[in-house]
A = this chain, B = another copy of it.
Amino acid sequence: MEDKGISRAVISRLPRYYRYLGQLVDEGVEKISSNDLSILMKVTASQIRQDLNNFGGFGQQGYGYNVKFLYEEIANILGLDKKHNLVLIGAGNLGHALANYVNFERRGFIIKGIFDKNENVHGKKIRDVEVRPMSEMKEFVLKNDIDIAVLTIPKESAVTVAAELVNCGIKAIWNFAHVDLNVPDNIVVENVHLSESLMKLSYDLNNTEKGN
């Protein structure tokens, strides 16, 4: 496995490379030097070279990077060349926002089912996917080859629902509930804790103001 031992810092920068390279592909740019990419992305050219060297390096001295090739290689590294079936648990505003985001689908993440405990939304559709009662969740996950669950439910129910999903063989949870899920180590959990993000902003704002 060529990408063993790559630091989390590098991994966490890859989606940003992917985004910029995607824009370059869309604009018809065929090659780019690490210097030009550096100016565009506002990071040092040496960081770019170091980061991309982790994956064997795709640049050629005096030529630069082949944009489309690099874009596709990063997609492969990120696993975006595979399709994953998702269920979305929680059809509130945040659930709607995520379900309506077409880019996820374009990158291979397909929302197969949506579940909510609120009877009033059962049977309604979000982009052609019906909202079902929570009681149907387990059977649906077992029958539809679901890899990923997206949790946009309150923290009070998130831990229990996560445990049920793990029992049904889910492999990864994209967790928007403001709580740490208690799942086995082999389950991938990616947390999006929005209030923690706002607190970081608050810290920076506070310290900028002090510095003025």
- Say whether A100 contacts B93, CB under 8 Å: yes
Interface set, chain A 96-122, CB cutoff 8 A to B: 96-98, 100-101, 103-104, 107-109
Q: Is A194 an interface residue (CB 8 A)?
A: yes
- Say whether A197 contacts B210, CB under 8 Å: no
Binds B, one of A26-34, A45-53, A56-64, A78-86: A78-86
- Say whether A197 contacts B190, CB under 8 Å: yes
* Nearest B residue (CB) for A204: B188
- Say whether B200 contacts A79, CB under 8 Å: no
Q: Which A residues form the contact surface with B (CB < 8 A)?
A: 1, 3, 11-12, 14-16, 18-19, 42, 77-80, 82, 84, 92-94, 96-98, 100-101, 103-104, 107-109, 147-148, 171-172, 174, 178, 180, 186, 188, 190, 192-211
With A19-B193, A84-B205, A188-B204 already in contact, 9 other A-B pairs whose C-beta atoms are closer than 8 Å: A11-B200, A14-B203, A16-B196, A78-B202, A104-B198, A109-B198, A171-B208, A172-B208, A186-B208
